[in-house]
Amino acid sequence: MMTRPIRFGIIGAAGRGNSFVRALRANPATELRALCDVRAEQLAVSASELDVEHTFTEAEALIQSGTVDAIVVGTPMQFHAPQAILALEQNIHVLSEVTAAVSVEESRDLVRAARRSSATYMMAENYTYTKSNVLVCELARRGLFGETYYGEGGYIHELKQHNETTPWRRHWQTGVNGCTYPTHSLGPVLQWFNADRRRPDRVVAVCAIGSGHHYLDPRGDRYEMEDSVTMMCRLTSGGLVHIRVDMLSDRPHNMVHYALQGTDGAYESTDGNGAAAKIWLRARHATPTWEPLAALEEEFLPDFWKNPPQEAVNAGHGGGDYWEVQDFVQAILEQGEAPIGIDLAMDMTLPGLLSQQSLAAGSSWVAVPDPRNWT
């Protein structure tokens, strides 16, 4: 049991890392001790605004400084695994932004580091914490969909301009052909298939297909990623999950497209632009009939979302940015496994990495390794 607050540091503090501050400060078991960012000027502004004592312009320096027990990794994707590994080697707890890693090789190194470390690792897949996704997960956990056998997730978020202001995206997200940013879509759906802990499910093989290239970047170069990349995922149970990632097509955003089909129920999410999510459960209507998902909140919504604190209601990404931090802190305090520990982080990350191989091989099926076999 910890006797003093968990001392936190945030890496990438002048960017995405900053959005973790409020959730950390809402938890009395934590203390924000250090900030790190390569942009020294913005770092100094953040440190002054947030009144944080220690600042670093190199992640290694923060990790080795002895000032923190835990870090949030909010840096660009290619730094997640290397920075997480460095911290885990020092037995410093890690809450890492998505995706967990950018290559299979790096994923193996991260799994090894997490297994050797006494610290807690969690991937910050915030979309698994939104109210509607938590409710669907609870319904699946109670078996109300019957046997689930088909799911869908879509991350459709036009980011061409954002590619220019955060050039790492042009390289790691739209500069690679594959489902390069799949965890917001696959993460929640996988949890619904996994909801019955006696029948854990994971993606065993992927087949990816692209829609071709219809846009050029401001330099006139073709994006290496095809505009819409669809990844079919075969699960251990035989189930099928269809993931679409599109960060290039001109259209309104929809980052929260989901669907689920079971023998006793079906779900279709909101379109992200105001339409209500709808559900049919045989237990409530013998004849298939849609009803609003919200109608099930009173009876089935887990307590933590029933009376959420204001910090959760105000937090980004449908409250996900708040709840993921609380769960991570709880896991540290209990010295238990985090809800999205290293194996689940890999189950959500690896299919996208293998989708690159599938596309390169003409959309052939490619096996997805089970990280539980990596020692």
Ligand X SMILES: NC(=O)c1ccc[n+]([C@@H]2O[C@H](COP(=O)([O-])OP(=O)(O)OC[C@H]3O[C@@H](n4cnc5c(N)ncnc54)[C@H](O)[C@@H]3O)[C@@H](O)[C@H]2O)c1
* Residues near ligand X (CB under 6 A): 11-12, 14-16, 36-39, 59, 74-77, 79, 97-98, 126, 166, 168, 317
CA 110 to CA 93: how far, in whole Å? 13
Minimum CB–partner distance for residue 76 and ligand X (Å)? 5
Q: Which is nearer to ligand X, 97 or 201 (CB)?
A: 97
Amino acid occupying residue 240: L
Minimum CB–partner distance for residue 172 and ligand X (Å)? 8
Minimum CB–partner distance for residue 69 and ligand X (Å)? 19
Q: Which is nearer to ligand X, 150 or 168 (CB)?
A: 168
Q: Which is nearer to ligand X, 33 or 234 (CB)?
A: 33
Interacting residues of 336 by C-beta distance below 8 A, sequence separation 6+: none
For the chain, list the strands marked E by DSSP. Answer: 6-11, 30-36, 54-56, 70-73, 93-96, 121-123, 148-156, 203-210, 229-235, 240-246, 254-262, 265-268, 278-281, 291-292, 366-367
Q: Which is nearer to ligand X, 37 or 327 (CB)?
A: 37
CA 118 to CA 331: how far, in whole Å? 12
Minimum CB–partner distance for residue 38 and ligand X (Å)? 4
Q: Which is nearer to ligand X, 166 or 237 (CB)?
A: 166
Minimum CB–partner distance for residue 79 and ligand X (Å)? 5
Cis bond before residue 99 (omega within 30° of 0): yes
Closest chain position to ligand X (CB): 15
Query: With the CA atoms of 335, 193, 20 and 313 taken in that order, what torsion angle do they form, in degrees rounded to the nearest 10?
Result: -110
Q: What is the CA radius of gyration of the chain?
A: 20
